[in-house]
Structure 1
Amino acid sequence: MSDPAHPCLACGACCASFRVDFAVYEMQAMGGTVPDDLAVEVNGSTCRMRGTGHVPIRCVALTGKVGEQVACSIYEQRPSPCRAFEAGEYACNKARMRHGLPPLEMA
């Protein structure tokens, strides 16, 4: 994410609100992009980003302080659920509310 004005760079609420499960083939060991040490296998076909399977939720790849300044340390390697997540959609605004942030109107 190269746009410093993008609202996600001052948010991070999604990374501290939701479990991130994805197909095992997205792991580097299986030819994907997600670093092997940042996820755990849930079963033979599903992996989960570390930090998103327990409360309080906070993805291990999230850096910075939610609601102030954040970044994904594996942005170019992130799994498909993260790639599909859109700023301003219902789930985004739900996560923002959980962290006391106002909703976005982008999607």
Structure 2
Amino acid sequence: MFATQFKSIVLIATLSSTAAMATSNDVQAAQLSDVTGQIEQVIASQTQQLLQSARQELMLSLRMQVAEAIDELDTQIADASASDTQSQTESEDTVILTSQKPE
């Protein structure tokens, strides 16, 4: 996605500079400088946007990973708690059964 945007920006800038070069030689030098400046501005702007998008995607990814890790930890704690409760109940039942003597 980023590469496609960057290629389209460079293509537009190249076409703009080519159109500017079609004018007279005296004006061409001034326009070339202007076009170069415009190309630099467009590339800098697009680079900033790409970096911002990448940063946002990274933050979303990290948040998702943290949420998944917390959910997994909660599941493990719940499973361990349920297992402990079941073991404790079984132990109590065993104690009750063994403490009763048949007559």
Question: Structure 2 length normalisation: TM-score?
Answer: 0.21
**Structure of higher RCO (CA pairs closer than 8 Å, 6+ residues apart):** 1
Q: Which has the larger share of strand? A: 1
Q: TM-score, structure 1 length as denominator?
A: 0.20
Greater helix proportion: 2
Q: Work out which of the two has the higher radius of gyration on C-alpha atoms and give 1 or 2.
A: 2
